[in-house]
């Protein structure tokens, strides 16, 4: 499991192309991988998860991506493989310098759409599609406006279905989208609602470092500088003690946020 | 008005002839600055590159002869416009009202925003329903706007409604939604919305708590301006022709779309009159 974190950078471009289109077949969503005949979806998922845990080894995450897709093919009703493929693709977009990032983002959106076709009320599928749309907005900026609006819709659905997944992931990612997206009326940006969502995420999973990190970012964006710094320092302390594979990135994000907090915040100046 | 504009152009042409000959071919930069609008310099760069490339191609200029850059913050825009290669700019009306004289910005073309048929937009002052019946009722209020960085513009845009009290606190904020919420809750806040924001207002869940208390006349949205005498007259004429022709080429039309513009049109004399009126903050 890769928790969605502030590394999920959002595009702020102004494009207006449709973010969703007819998805490619599931079999076309992964890279080449040798799968021995007769292997079950459960076996493939277990191998994929083990490979994903070996990040930041890029080759292992690529392998995980393909194994997740293979599992989704073997079990035509299952969604774990599709969500896992999205996780792997999102991670590769951020870390694999050799990757075709746009193609990865498009295929992540396709995986999210297949996931929802198989399980229309699955919080994981809504959450996965939302993350994929965010990455696509970043990589293909023409889809940003439509993509960000749909991303918010799917995150709200995921939060309504099961807010606890991925350590309060739907509320955390919703907070990050709302605080980083273009402001009303162009985009869904709304720092005050972002702060409410970040508070919910922290209340649900207070010791998961990306949650206080999101709270710190939203507090800083709404002008609560001291509180924002405190939340960020708490996130940093938690991240430094964490044994998660992504802990180093959380530490880096926390330090960058504190550095930003040291600079003046533009929340409107009197004239 | 036309005479005055012609005099300005003649003066620029004359000074161009007397100036450094190298200036005639030096690479120039178009600086876009729109305080209060979303996006960063890096995020906007692909769109700016597309605009520069399409315009340079249409003008018959060599690659690299025209660059374009976006600075979202007023202060950074001013710094960038201070550099000698910044020969032209794409800026909103409030920016021209505030900085036009000091920076020697000469409005040349008017922006038609995406979806609009003609240039110009109406600004609308919004407050809690029933709270503001006249300008005097704004005493002690905070008046927020993305154009709040140019208080003379704000006062001038609302001048036909009446004179704003001296103690109105005009603030710049890109957090329009937040300010509208405050107004709807009954805080002493009014918000001056641009055309796009006004059009989207009914979609807000708390829109019924708010009302439009004043509207500006139709005002220009933005301009392409030249900066001082940095662009020789002959080069401006070529660039002007290229910018006007952008919608007729696929790359030009795409570049305009990327910047939320329909097209650029020749400046109407009335636009210059508006700028002068707004600089004075008067009717």
Domains (ranges, CATH) in chain B? 2-118+220-279 (3.40.190.10), 124-215 (3.40.190.10)
Does the pLDDT value for residue A7 go beyond 60? no
pLDDT at A127: 98
Is A40 within the bounds of a domain? yes
Residue A28 shares a structural domain with residue A151: yes
pLDDT tens digits, one per residue of B178-188: 999 999 999 99
pLDDT at A15: 58
Domain extent, residue A60, equals: 1-159
Q: For B257, name the nearest residue in chain A, comparing CA atoms only.
A: A15
Residue A17 shares a structural domain with residue A115: yes
Interface contact B172-A190, CB threshold 8 A: no
How far is Cα A109 from Cα A159, in angstroms, rounded to an integer? 19
pLDDT at B4: 35
pLDDT at A145: 83
Nearest CB among A12, A192, A269 relative to B181 is that of: A192
Does the pLDDT value for residue A14 go beyond 80? no
Average pLDDT over residues A153-168: 98
User: Would you call the peptide bond into A79 cis, given omega within 30 degrees of 0 as the criterion?
Assistant: no
Residue A153 shares a structural domain with residue A190: no
Which ipTM was obtained for this model?
0.71
User: Range with the lowest mean pLDDT among A22-31, A105-114, B261-270?
Assistant: A22-31
| Contact yes or no for B176/B210 (Cβ under 8 A) | no
pLDDT at B281: 58
pLDDT at A13: 39
pLDDT tens digits, one per residue of B4-54: 333 333 333 333 333 454 555 689 999 999 998 777 888 889 899 999 999
Look over chain A and give the mean of its residue pLDDT values, rounded to a whole number: 90
Give the pairing type, strands B169-172 and B142-145.
parallel
Nearest CB among A11, A266, A270 relative to B169 is that of: A270
Average pLDDT over residues A177-204: 93
DSSP assignments along chain A, one per residue: -----TTSPPP-------S--PPPPGGGSS------TT--HHHHHHHHHHHHTTTT-HHHHHHHHHHHHHHHHHSTT--HHHHHHHHHHHHHHHH-TTS-HHHHHHHHHHHHHHHHHH-TT-HHHHHHHHHHHHHHHHHSGGGHHHHHHHHHHHHHHHHHH-TTHHHHHHHHHHHHHHHHSPBTTTS-B-HHHHHHHHHHHHHHSTTSTHHHHHHHHHHHHTT-HHHHHHHHHHHHHHHHH--STTHHHHHHHHHHHHHHHTSPP-S--B-
Where a domain ends, among A159, A175, A193? Answer: A159
Total count of residues recorded for chain A: 271
Residue A77 shares a structural domain with residue A155: yes
Residue A56 shares a structural domain with residue A108: yes
Is A48 within the bounds of a domain? yes
Write the burial class of residue A151 (CB in 10 Å: 0-12 exposed, 13-18 middle, 19+ buried): buried
Nearest CB among B40, B199, B260 relative to A14 is that of: B260
User: Range with the lowest mean pLDDT among A7-16, A22-31, A172-181, B241-250?
Assistant: A7-16
Is A269 within the bounds of a domain? no
Percent of chain A with pLDDT over 70: 91
| CATH code for the domain of A178 | 1.25.40.10
Residue A239 shares a structural domain with residue A254: yes
Residue A25 shares a structural domain with residue A1: yes
Is A169 within the bounds of a domain? yes
Find the chain A residues whose C-beta atoms sit closer than 8 A to any C-beta of B.
11-15, 141, 182-187, 189-192, 222, 266-271
pLDDT tens digits, one per residue of B191-210: 999 999 999 999 999 999 99
Where a domain ends, among A159, A187, A211? Answer: A159
User: Which contiguous run of DSSP H or E holds residue B103?
Assistant: helix B93-103
pLDDT at A271: 40
Residue A184 shares a structural domain with residue A81: no
Give the number of domains in chain A: 2
Residue A129 shares a structural domain with residue A60: yes
pLDDT tens digits, one per residue of A120-159: 999 999 999 999 999 999 888 888 888 999 999 999 999 9
pLDDT tens digits, one per residue of B97-134: 999 999 999 999 999 988 888 999 999 999 999 999 99
Residue A106 shares a structural domain with residue A129: yes
Is A23 within the bounds of a domain? yes
Interface contact B178-A266, CB threshold 8 A: no
Where a domain ends, among A159, A194, A228? Answer: A159
Percent of chain B with pLDDT over 70: 90
Residue A138 shares a structural domain with residue A167: no
């Amino acid at each position: 499991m890769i928790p969605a974190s502030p590394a999920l950078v959002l595009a702020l471009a102004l494009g207006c192309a449709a973010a969703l289109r007819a998805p490619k077949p599931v079999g076309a969503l992964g890279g080449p991988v040798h799968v021995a005949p007769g292997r079950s979806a459960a076996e493939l998922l277990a191998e994929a998860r083990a490979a994903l845990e070996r990040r930041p080894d890029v080759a292992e995450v690529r392998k995980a991506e393909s194994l997740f897709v293979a599992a989704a093919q073997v079990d035509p009703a299952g969604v774990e493989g599709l969500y896992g493929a999205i996780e792997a693709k999102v991670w590769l977009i951020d870390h694999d310098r050799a990757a075709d990032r746009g193609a990865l983002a498009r295929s992540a959106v396709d995986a999210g759409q297949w996931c929802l076709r198989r399980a229309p009320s699955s919080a994981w599928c809504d959450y996965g599609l939302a993350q994929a749309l965010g990455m696509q907005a970043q990589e293909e900026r023409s889809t940003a406006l439509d993509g960000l609006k749909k991303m918010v819709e799917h995150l709200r659905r995921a939060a309504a279905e099961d807010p606890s997944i991925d350590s309060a992931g739907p509320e955390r990612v919703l907070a990050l989208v709302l605080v980083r997206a273009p402001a009303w009326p162009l985009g869904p940006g709304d720092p005050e609602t972002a702060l409410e969502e970040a508070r919910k995420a922290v209340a649900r999973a207070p010791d998961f470092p990306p949650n206080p990190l999101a709270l710190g970012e939203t507090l800083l964006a709404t002008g609560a500088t001291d509180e924002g710094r405190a939340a960020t320092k708490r996130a940093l302390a938690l991240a430094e003690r964490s044994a998660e594979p992504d802990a180093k990135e959380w530490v880096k994000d926390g330090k960058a946020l504190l550095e930003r907090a040291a600079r003046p915040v533009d929340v409107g100046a009197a004239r | 008005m036309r005479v005055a504009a012609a005099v300005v152009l003649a003066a620029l042409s004359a000074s161009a002839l007397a100036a450094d000959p190298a200036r005639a071919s030096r690479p120039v930069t178009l600086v876009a600055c729109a305080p209060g609008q979303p996006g960063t310099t890096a995020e906007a760069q692909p769109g700016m590159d597309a605009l520069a490339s399409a315009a340079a191609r249409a003008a018959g200029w060599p690659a690299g002869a025209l660059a374009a850059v976006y600075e979202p913050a007023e202060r950074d825009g001013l710094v960038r416009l201070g550099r000698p290669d910044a020969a032209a700019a794409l800026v909103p009306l409030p920016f021209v009202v505030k900085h036009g004289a000091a920076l020697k910005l000469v409005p040349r073309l008017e922006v038609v925003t995406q979806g609009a048929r003609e240039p110009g937009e109406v600004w609308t002052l919004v407050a809690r329903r029933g709270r503001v019946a006249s300008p005097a009722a704004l005493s002690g209020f905070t008046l927020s706007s993305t154009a709040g960085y140019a208080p003379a513009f704000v006062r001038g845009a609302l001048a036909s409604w009446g004179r704003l009290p001296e103690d109105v606190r005009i603030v710049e904020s890109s957090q329009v939604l937040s300010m509208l919420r405050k107004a709807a809750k009954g805080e002493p806040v009014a918000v001056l919305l641009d055309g796009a924001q006004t059009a989207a207002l009914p979609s807000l869940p708390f829109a019924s708590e708010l009302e439009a208390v004043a509207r500006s006349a139709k005002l220009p949205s933005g301009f392409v301006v030249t900066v001082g005498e940095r662009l020789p007259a002959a080069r401006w004429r070529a660039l002007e022709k290229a910018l006007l022709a952008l919608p007729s080429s696929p790359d030009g039309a795409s570049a305009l779309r990327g910047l939320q513009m329909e097209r650029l049109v020749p400046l109407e004399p009335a636009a210059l009159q508006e700028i002068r009126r707004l600089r004075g903050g008067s009717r």
